[in-house]
Structure 1
């Protein structure tokens, strides 16, 4: 009786042996190729992951830089608007000082006009005592001059405020629309 080893050896003789050897060789080569492909695939996946991580880092850095640039631009604009506001307040203070000087000048002019009216009444006592035309003309002059000065002061105040507001608005617009 033949042992199992002898039976297998008998089966592997001839063309069957070559076929079995080819099959075992093909299985070994396929397994090796499969392993090599797995290694290559693993390396490719690692490269893709590394490239993706680099791209994410680059995008994150670009985002941080963009946010920082926007913040800097916002700070620059706010500083420029604040400077324009401060300049407008300084100009408003200067305009108020000019208006105070104009009021002082107006008061001096009224004092002078009243003095002239009294002098005219004293110079022509007959006109001032009973004549309405003598004192009325001087009083009318003083009254009209006072009204003209008051109206000029009011108009100057409105014009100063409008000019300052317009200039401040223009400066703020220029600062906000200028991109650096």
Structure 2
């Protein structure tokens, strides 16, 4: 074999090795790109699922808080209606006490009895006024208690809605 033929065969063998090497790199690159694309697709899918779950949780929490606010509003209406009923009963009681205090006086010829009647009338009027003040203050305290209780329950319901999943 001649030298140029040997050199040609050597070039042909080197070219075939080079071609096989480049083909292997090409296959490896395409596999790496496919794996990267699959991983990126999985990441995008996980991100979308995570966003959807976060949105659903946010909507659940908002709904639970809105329900707590609506329940608090209903409780306020019930408490206000109860307070209005208690105020009406208190006014009737005060009216009756005022009428009783006015009727305590006993007119008559006996001056001692008239003096006792006037003292009793003054005492009944003082007690009637004291009853009116105590009733008004009790109404104020009951309203404040109802509002504080409703606010506390609403706060607790809102907190539970934020911290407890599907509770």
| TM-score, reference length from structure 2 | 0.90
Residue 137 (str. 1) matches residue 123 (str. 2)? yes
Distance 1:172 1:85 in 2: 8
Shift of 1:179: 3.1
CA distance in 2, matches of 1:67, 1:138: 72
**Paired residues, number:** 162
The answer on whether the counterparts of 2:104 and 2:117 sit within 8 Å (CA) in structure 1 is no
Residue 37 (str. 1) matches residue 37 (str. 2): no
Q: Deviations over 1:43-101 (max 9, x none)?
A: 11111111111111000000011111111000000000000000000000000000000
**Match runs of 1:63-142 below 5 Å:** 63-121=47-105, 124-125=106-107, 132-142=118-128
- Name the CA distance, whole Å, in 1 between partners of 2:101 and 2:141: 27
Per-residue deviation, residues 121-164 of structure 1 (Å, max 9, x unmatched): 2xx22556796412111101101111110010011011111111
SS at 2:104's partner residue? helix
Change (3 A) 1:128 1:108: farther
> Normalising to structure 1: TM-score of the pair?
0.84
Name stretches of at least 5 consecutive residues in structure 1 with no aligned partner.
1-11
Pick aligned residue for 1:51 from 3, 18, 35: 35
Counterpart-to-counterpart distance in 2, 1:120 and 1:170: 53
Residue 120 of structure 1 deviates from its aligned partner by: 1.3
Shift in Å at residue 165 of structure 1?
A: 0.5
Deviations 1:14-35 (A, max 9, x none): xxx2x44332211101101111
Q: What SS does structure 2 have at the residue aligned with 1:71?
A: helix
Q: Does 2:151 match 1:165?
A: yes
Corresponding residue for residue 7 of structure 2: 23
For residues 94-113 of structure 1, the C-alpha deviation after alignment (integer angstroms, 9 at most, x for no partner) is 00000000001001101211
